[in-house]
Amino acid sequence: MNNPIKSGHLRVSLLSAVAVGLAIASMVAVSGVATAASSPRVANATRPLEKGLKAFVIPKNLGNSYFTTSDSVKSGGALFALRQLGELGTETSGTAATPSSQIPAIEGAITKGANILIISATDPDALCPTLKGAMARGITVVTYDADAPACRDLWIEQATSQGIGDIEVDIIAKEMHDTGQLAIVSAAPTAPNQNVWIGYMKTELKKFPHIQLVKTVYGMDDTATSTTVTEGLLTAYPNLKGIISPTTVGVAAAAAVLDTAKYRGKIFLTGLGTPLAMKKYVLDGTVPEFALWNPASLGYLAAYAAVNFASGVITNAVGQSFKASTLGKYTVGPDQTILLGLPFIFNKSNIAQFHF
């Protein structure tokens, strides 16, 4: 297991006070890069990285602290890396984690002359007409956190989807003593990442024939909706014994619902959470363990990958590699995928060390 607290970006973020200043865009450099993607790409590892590229970081939605961590300068995320590299980074999105909320933000970024789009997709397909149009114009499209496989140049994956699905099921199965009714509180029904993870959870659940997955409900990465759907589960399934919520918003909302003597120790909850939001519930025993990766490292890596690709230093072919500063060297794997690392388990023994 990797330890997010030791990952390179945190060391980098300590240096933020001396971060490289923003370079002013050179129209020549920018337009040269903007047309490069439409012609056949040849990697040149010795080429310097372009500076002054207009990069837009587009999370599923704004106002989700997970994405604030993955994206912001302060946390050492994508915008920090872009600043370090001398690019012009901006975060933009809608307020709801839906394609209809996110697409206008993507279109706005294209209109503003984007050279790079770094996107957590709200839907694997619905964004494709817009993203394919961007790629046809030579704009580099990189997905991070949630993929749209048919319409991007590179996918920056936080941990293998199977690894994430397996870890969630293994944690809850242990707590449920391998038996009883289980439900899932997911994000949006179209969320590519949650849907892929849930697919792997279903496969892993075959190892536990006495656990029945009774229902998947959708909290939309919205606290109020996640609370309502969790309460609905408790009413509909009075014998429910476990909940997995593979969304940082959903698991925190579900934990707040279960944080009473009535449920603690009777209905088990795990998921993918952020340590600051989950600390209270870990310490009081409502959520003994949950998993995640380092969101800031994910954003940081996505920015380095995008700039290397946009600059023609790498292509998206298997085996292409680049250096993401102190995070280390990364290599493109199958399906144009770059993998950050392994999921990490948080519990009472380590939760106090994390500050995101």
**146 scored as a contact of ligand RAM (CB under 6 A):** yes
For ligand RAM, the closer CB: 186 or 336:
186
On whether the CB atoms of residues 206 and 199 are closer than 8 A, the answer is no
For ligand RAM, the closer CB: 32 or 149:
149
Say how far apart CA 158 and CA 122 lie, in whole Å: 16
In the shown chain, the binding pattern of residues 173 to 192 toward ligand RAM, with x for contact by CB under 6 A and - for none, equals --------------x---x-
For ligand RAM, the closer CB: 196 or 307:
196
**248 scored as a contact of ligand RAM (CB under 6 A):** yes
**247 scored as a contact of ligand RAM (CB under 6 A):** yes
Kindly tell me which residue out of 181, 193, 230, 294 binds ligand RAM, with binding defined by CB under 6 A.
193
DSSP 311: T
Neighbour-count burial for 190-213, b at 16+ CB within 10 Å, e otherwise: bbbbbbbbbebbeebbeebeebbb
CB atoms within 10 A of CB 177: 11
Long-range contacts of 26-29 (CB under 8 A, 24+ apart): 26/51, 26/52, 29/53
CB atoms within 10 A of CB 237: 17
3-state secondary structure of 290: strand
In the shown chain, the binding pattern of residues 99 to 138 toward ligand RAM, with x for contact by CB under 6 A and - for none, equals ---------------------x------------------
Q: Of 286, 282, 291, 279, which is closest to residue 345 (Cα–Cα)?
A: 291
Kindly tell me which residue out of 56, 66, 200, 346 binds ligand RAM, with binding defined by CB under 6 A.
66
Kindly tell me which residue out of 50, 91, 221, 222 binds ligand RAM, with binding defined by CB under 6 A.
221
3-state secondary structure of 269: strand
For ligand RAM, the closer CB: 272 or 340:
272
**272 scored as a contact of ligand RAM (CB under 6 A):** yes
For ligand RAM, the closer CB: 7 or 181:
7
On whether the CB atoms of residues 10 and 126 are closer than 8 A, the answer is no
**64 scored as a contact of ligand RAM (CB under 6 A):** yes
**216 scored as a contact of ligand RAM (CB under 6 A):** no
For ligand RAM, the closer CB: 7 or 247:
247
CB atoms within 10 A of CB 354: 18
Q: How many residues bind ligand RAM (CB under 6 A)?
A: 14
| Residues engaged in binding ligand RAM (CB under 6 A) | 60, 64, 66, 120, 145-146, 187, 191, 193, 221, 247-249, 272
